[in-house]
């Protein structure tokens, strides 16, 4: 996508949707005023961009092959932006030739968020947005991109503020305040920005959509529950999970544009639920002391699990005795569901692939360090390749590892800076890995 698109929109003074569009009319064909405006047009982006933390609003973490470099890789640039301590570094997002890197920076008594816009080709900084003061971040922020707008939130003791920024220069277009820090923002999809927040005084959760041009509420639904999770978006509906009591709905579906409630289910789930081909992939802690986790492939039309597998997450720590690892869904494709099992350096991490149709295990690879030091990032998929970063607990050194998606066999390994953190992302024929103070980029040799 040509950078001139951003320049054109900046000139037009409209930076929220592709093209020089104006705010929609509020009148019908007869000229009568109507109370409901036209819906915003869908956001435009290239399939080879990585505009959201998990690639798309469905949280698949799987991009087309064209998004990644082809063949052997070489490091093309590395950028570092501050020597200060960085308390949190979010997964980069990439759109329209810019890499967006979100950090929480230690300035002594203040811990503001900082969003950097970086030239994807050269690593040069284009602009930065810093927000501190009352919005000193205590929960890591995350950026998302929709059309010509960048969304980023800042969370503090007394709430969360969502900012909409012009992608051309980082100027604030609007901001919206949520009273509690457990608010989850923002997932752009279907021309709206989907958010969720707890309503503590009513022991309810509010699921809502905002107009991306103004931040005004487009629709909202209040549901019994306590802590809502981030939205997952399908072709027509938006899905929310939440922590709820016995007999209450843990999983809910709404029409993404109108907010009409489609259904609710008591199917338990944890945060960040991927959606692919009519199924949500949910995780439920089970067993004594919840040392097991069950993965369900939940069919949204039938509203039932079509297959499930269970993982033993128990591990033995010499200091604390029996402890629990972490189980997450890393990526979903047409053929496989990739899961990550992490043990915080006590046992080796592992990645397991399951057949999406049946739940049968396809393959598994386990860290090679018998002492448990191998730590893998969340996997990133591009076409038939899987990428992840590898570190060793308590030791220096990091590497980028490339695997064949069908077999799980390792194809290549590349050295990374010792302070590399987090999962790789691919966009526009490049691969990016964040470091503690910046980002490093790879291209094809």
**Which residues, in sequence order, are CB contacts of 416 under 8 Å at separation 6+?**
389, 398, 399, 400, 433, 440
Q: What is the DSSP letter of 427?
A: E
Q: What's residue 259's pLDDT?
A: 94
> Strand, coil or helix: what is 152?
strand
- Distance between CA 122 and CA 243 in Å, rounded? 43
**Which residues, in sequence order, are CB contacts of 10 under 8 Å at separation 6+?**
166, 168, 169
Q: What is the DSSP letter of 42?
A: P
Asked if residues 400 and 414 have their Cβ atoms less than 8 Å apart, the reply is yes
CA gyration radius, the chain: 22
Q: What's residue 376's pLDDT?
A: 82
Asked if residues 228 and 240 have their Cβ atoms less than 8 Å apart, the reply is yes
CB burial of residue 192 (10 Å; 0-12, 13-18, 19+): buried
Asked if residues 413 and 426 have their Cβ atoms less than 8 Å apart, the reply is no
Asked if residues 21 and 5 have their Cβ atoms less than 8 Å apart, the reply is no
Q: What's residue 69's pLDDT?
A: 97
Q: What's residue 27's pLDDT?
A: 28
Q: What's residue 341's pLDDT?
A: 79
Domain boundaries, the chain: 4-25+39-444
Q: Are strands 62-63 and 380-382 parallel, antiparallel or unpaired?
A: parallel
- Distance between CA 92 and CA 152 in Å, rounded? 12
- Helix or strand holding residue 8 (H, E): helix 4-12
> Strand, coil or helix: what is 32?
coil
**Residue 282: closest CA among 341, 240, 244:** 240
Asked if residues 336 and 355 have their Cβ atoms less than 8 Å apart, the reply is yes
- Residue 179, sorted as left (phi over 0), alpha (psi -120 to 50) or beta, turns out to be alpha
Asked if residues 273 and 298 have their Cβ atoms less than 8 Å apart, the reply is no
Asked if residues 327 and 341 have their Cβ atoms less than 8 Å apart, the reply is yes
- Distance between CA 129 and CA 359 in Å, rounded? 44
Q: List per-residue pLDDT tens for the chain, 445 residues long.
A: 444 344 444 434 333 333 333 233 222 334 444 445 566 777 888 999 999 999 999 999 999 999 999 989 999 999 887 656 666 678 899 999 999 998 876 655 556 788 999 999 999 999 999 886 544 554 567 899 999 999 998 877 677 889 999 999 999 999 998 876 566 668 999 999 999 888 867 778 888 999 999 999 999 998 877 677 778 999 999 998 877 666 677 888 999 999 999 998 888 777 778 999 999 999 887 766 667 788 999 999 999 999 999 877 665 555 555 455 677 899 999 999 999 877 665 667 789 999 999 999 999 988 765 555 677 888 999 999 999 998 876 567 789 999 999 999 999 999 998 888 889 999 999 999 988 878 999 999 9
- Distance between CA 86 and CA 319 in Å, rounded? 29
Q: What is the DSSP letter of 90?
A: P
SS3 sequence, 366-393?
A: ECCCCCCCEEECCCEEECCEEEEEEEEC
Question: Domain 4-25+39-444 class?
Answer: mainly beta
- Helix or strand holding residue 420 (H, E): none
**Which residues, in sequence order, are CB contacts of 278 under 8 Å at separation 6+?**
234, 299, 300, 301
């Amino acid at each position: 996508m040509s950078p001139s698109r951003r320049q054109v929109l900046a000139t037009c003074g409209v930076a929220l949707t592709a093209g020089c569009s104006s705010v929609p009319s509020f009148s019908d064909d007869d000229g009568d005023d109507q109370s409901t405006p036209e819906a915003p047009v869908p956001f435009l982006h290239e399939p080879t961009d990585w505009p959201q933390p998990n690639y798309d609003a469905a949280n698949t973490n799987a991009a087309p092959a064209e998004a990644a470099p082809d063949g052997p890789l070489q490091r093309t640039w590395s950028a570092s932006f501050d020597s200060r301590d960085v308390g949190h570094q979010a997964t980069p997002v990439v759109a329209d030739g810019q890499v967006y890197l979100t950090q929480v920076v230690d300035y002594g008594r203040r811990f503001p968020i900082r969003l950097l816009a970086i030239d994807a080709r050269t690593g040069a900084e284009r602009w930065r947005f810093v927000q501190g003061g009352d919005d000193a971040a205590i929960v890591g922020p995350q950026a998302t991109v929709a059309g010509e707008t960048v969304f980023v939130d800042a969370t503090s003791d007394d709430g969360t503020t969502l900012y909409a920024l012009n992608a051309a220069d980082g100027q604030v277009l609007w901001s919206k305040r949520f009273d509690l820090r457990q608010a989850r923002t923002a997932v752009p999809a279907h021309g709206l920005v989907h958010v969720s927040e707890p309503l503590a005084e009513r022991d309810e959760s509010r699921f809502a959509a905002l107009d991306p041009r103004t931040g005004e509420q487009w629709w909202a639904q209040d549901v019994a529950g306590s802590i809502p999770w981030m939205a997952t978006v399908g072709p027509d509906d938006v899905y929310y999970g939440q922590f709820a009591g016995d007999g209450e709905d843990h999983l809910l579906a709404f029409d993404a544009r109108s907010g009409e409630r489609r259904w609710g289910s008591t199917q338990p789930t944890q945060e960040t639920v991927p959606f692919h081909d009519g199924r949500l992939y949910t995780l439920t802690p089970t067993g004594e002391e919840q040392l097991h986790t069950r993965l369900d492939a939940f069919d949204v039309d039938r509203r039932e699990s079509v297959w499930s597998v269970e993982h033993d997450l128990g591990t033995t720590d010499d200091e604390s005795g029996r402890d629990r690892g972490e189980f997450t869904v890393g990526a979903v494709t047409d053929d496989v569901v990739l899961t990550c099992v992490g043990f915080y350096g006590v046992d080796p991490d592992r990645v397991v692939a399951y057949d999406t149709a049946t739940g049968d295990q396809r393959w598994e690879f386990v860290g090679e360090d018998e002492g448990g030091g191998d730590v893998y990032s969340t996997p990133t998929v591009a076409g038939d390749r899987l990428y992840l970063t590898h570190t060793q607990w308590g030791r220096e050194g990091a590497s980028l590892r490339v695997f064949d998606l069908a077999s799980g066999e390792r194809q290549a390994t590349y050295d990374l800076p010792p302070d590399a953190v987090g999962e790789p992302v691919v966009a526009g024929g490049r691969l990016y890995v964040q470091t503690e103070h910046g980002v490093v980029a790879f291209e094809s040799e």
